[in-house]
């Protein structure tokens, strides 16, 4: 990156339930102002405020859940995100809490690179009518709701039937999401620079039980079919949305992209993966 990169409007996004993250954000804000950054905002912000304020850097303090939210907020403005780990896992974050003064100095000096990652775009359609849409970094999950019963889901690729599933659900994941829920469900790990869509069944019963890697230009359509209890949809762990039989969830490669500030060389991904795979994070991980 050019040494002339000097952010003028920085947003600090901290985990809302983590007081330590809010306090640390205030320390960062004071440091940035002392370095001549014109505007620093660390109060709670919405997606709309990020889009309206014209920020040129978003710093996320938390764990991977905070990074997912930050990436969705920043992607529409093509703004880079720097992740500071305040949680226990932090696979997507770049620096630890104690390292941020050195990291911010490198950012202001332009001593970093930008890593670009694909996102998914999902749309809900019902009887030919568009209802709503999501852009996500990790995955879109269509699965059973409150009832502990498998759901029937039909998957199409580019308009052609792929398979009928009886399963707890289907995961459509990005390469970034391949190390999350998709990995826990038996899917393969994809390098983050790929742009493929990964389809992974969750606890399939008498159905295709293998993950499928789709081309980046594919349109995946998933339809709930003949279910006594409604299926639900969740993108990146957001609150679930009830689906009706016959709904179409159309999933494609998004026009948006997540941009992460990185200081490590590109091969860091495999080194970090090995390290994190050897950990057993606590069930109470801060996201």
Question: Could you read off the pLDDT of 267-280 as tens digits, one per residue?
Answer: 788 777 777 666 65
Give the model's pLDDT for residue 283.
46
Euclidean distance between CA atoms 92 and 104, whole angstroms: 17
pLDDT at 223 exceeding the cut of 90? yes
What's the rounded Cα separation, in Å, for the pair 237 and 224?
A: 19
Burial status of residue 121 (CB atoms within 10 A of its CB: 0-12, 13-18, 19 or more): middle
Catalytic residues: 64
Q: Judge whether residue 219 has pLDDT over 80.
A: yes
Structure tokens at 129: 């009518």
Give dist(CA 275, CA 106) in Å, integer. 25
pLDDT at 88 over 80: no
Q: Which residues contact 117 (CB under 8 A, 6 or more apart)?
A: 71, 137, 174, 175, 176, 192, 193, 257, 258, 259, 260
> How much is the average pLDDT of 50-73?
87
Report the pLDDT value the prediction gives residue 7, as an integer from 0 to 100.
84
C-alpha angle with apex 114: 216 to 136, nearest 5 degrees? 45
pLDDT at 114 over 70: yes
Q: Which domains does the chain have, with CATH numbers?
A: 9-112+263-277 (3.40.50.10330), 119-255 (2.60.200.30)
DSSP 8-class letter at 138: S
Predicted local confidence at residue 261, as pLDDT: 97
pLDDT digits 0-9 by tens, 32-50:
999 998 778 876 666 666 6
239-248: average pLDDT: 96
Between 137 and 2, the more confident residue is: 137
């Amino acid at each position: 990156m050019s040494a002339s990169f000097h952010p003028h409007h920085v947003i600090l996004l901290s985990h809302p339930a983590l007081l330590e993250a809010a306090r640390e954000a205030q320390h960062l804000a004071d440091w940035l102002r002392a370095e001549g950054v014109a505007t620093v905002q660390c109060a709670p912000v919405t997606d709309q405020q990020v889009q309206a304020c014209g920020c040129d850097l978003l710093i996320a303090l938390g764990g991977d859940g905070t990074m997912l939210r930050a990436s969705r907020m920043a992607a529409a403005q093509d703004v880079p995100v720097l992740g500071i780990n305040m949680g226990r896992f932090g696979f997507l974050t770049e620096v630890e809490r104690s390292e941020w003064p050195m990291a911010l100095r490198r950012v202001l000096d332009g001593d970093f690179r930008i890593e670009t990652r694909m996102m998914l775009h999902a749309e809900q359609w019902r009887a030919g009518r568009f209802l709503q849409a999501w852009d996500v970094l990790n995955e879109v999950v269509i699965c059973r709701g409150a009832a502990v019963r498998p759901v029937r889901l039909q998957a199409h690729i580019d308009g052609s039937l792929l398979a009928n599933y009886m399963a707890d659900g289907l995961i459509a994941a990005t390469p970034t999401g391949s190390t999350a829920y998709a990995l826990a469900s038996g899917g393969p790990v994809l390098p983050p620079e790929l742009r493929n869509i990964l389809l992974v069944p969750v606890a399939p019963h008498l159905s295709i039980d293998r993950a499928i890697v789709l081309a980046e230009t594919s349109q995946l359509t998933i339809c709930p079919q003949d279910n006594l209890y409604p299926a639900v949809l969740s993108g990146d762990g957001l609150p679930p949305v009830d689906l009706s039989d016959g709904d179409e969830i159309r999933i494609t490669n998004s026009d948006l992209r997540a941009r992460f500030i990185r200081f490590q060389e590109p091969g860091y991904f495999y080194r970090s993966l090995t390290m994190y795979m050897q950990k057993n994070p606590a069930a109470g991980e801060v996201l």
